[in-house]
Copies of this chain bind each other. A is one copy, B any other.
């Protein structure tokens, strides 16, 4: 047996726009220790890696040192799985460096294999290893956060495509033409522009403006409304908040109907803040899917909420890449 295989732990790094969280994870998906640094406090990627290696020291020591670690997995925005690089990440302080070989940099410093993929793909791998997608060969993970991300699994494999960037389902065009909302990607009408946290907040502002219907949301300054406010109001039975979720769910369900013709997944797995609303968002999604899906794909896929704990999921998902190296 390969000695490598006996090493009992992997490192997961959830590299987010605000925090970079390092965790040590065992084979059952237990996060044994974590530490974090501020992603944006470093001007260069070298400084960031230095700080990361320092942050790892105490938690690696806790599990018996680096020789107990099989590998490290990184979930990061704009990550290229094939090259282990972060490419042109507009939201990272050192993203202007262009193509950043982050996996290699950590690998050289830690002397272990390091793999990297984007955060949504990492979430999908985590779900497959430890969550509700265990045993599934075909599913689509949709992360509803600041943006809308996705991780696609087909034939039991992550879909990275020809260049490592496949699975950007937040950027399918849902509204064509001049009526489409501006999206952060520079185009208009993307799913993300409607169904991300900021998209839902924007829908709320539009709904409040175009009607005079009373709503709990009117107690909040329009520019300060968040998707969480909509969730809370909907949870209290606020009619307009529920209509906002119906609108959001309708678009997500319509998008899933299009995704089904592509890979006919066994399940759509949703992750992120918006899923906290439970049936209030999931029921409109399912209803819209059944309305829009091709007859042959109706009543087939499951619509699931991630089985992973929010706080741990990103680190867990990133670490799961480590087992595959």
Chain A residues engaging chain B, CB cutoff 8 angstroms: 137-138, 152, 154-155, 157, 159-169, 171-176, 185-187, 254, 257-259, 261-266, 292, 294-297, 300-301
Give the nearest-CB partner of A297 in chain B.
Answer: B165
In angstroms, Cα B258 to Cα A175, docked, is 12
Q: Are B262 and A166 in contact (CB under 8 A)?
A: yes
- How many monomers of this protein are in the complex? 2
A176 to B263, CA, bound (A): 21
Contact B294 A185 (CB under 8 A): yes
The minimal Cβ–Cβ distance linking A319 to chain B, given in whole angstroms, is 23
With a cutoff of 8 Å between Cβ atoms, the chain B residues found around residue A172 in the complex are: 258, 261-262
Q: Are A138 and B155 in contact (CB under 8 A)?
A: no
The residues of B that contact A162 with a CB separation of less than 8 Å are 137-138, 264-266, 300-301
Task: Say yes or no: A165 contacts B296, CB within 8 Å.
Answer: yes
- What B residues does A186 contact at CB under 8 A? 295
Tell me if A159 and B154 are in contact (CB < 8 A).
Answer: yes
Residues of chain B within 8 A of A266, CB atoms compared: 162
Q: How far is the CA of A88 from the CA of B257 in the complex (A)?
A: 20
**A173 pairs with B254, CB closer than 8 A:** yes
The answer to whether A166 touches B292, judged by C-beta atoms less than 8 angstroms apart, is no
Besides A163-B300, A167-B261, 14 new A-B residue pairs in contact (Cβ under 8 A), listed by A number: A137-B162, A154-B159, A155-B157, A155-B159, A159-B262, A162-B264, A162-B301, A165-B297, A171-B294, A172-B262, A176-B176, A186-B295, A258-B258, A262-B263
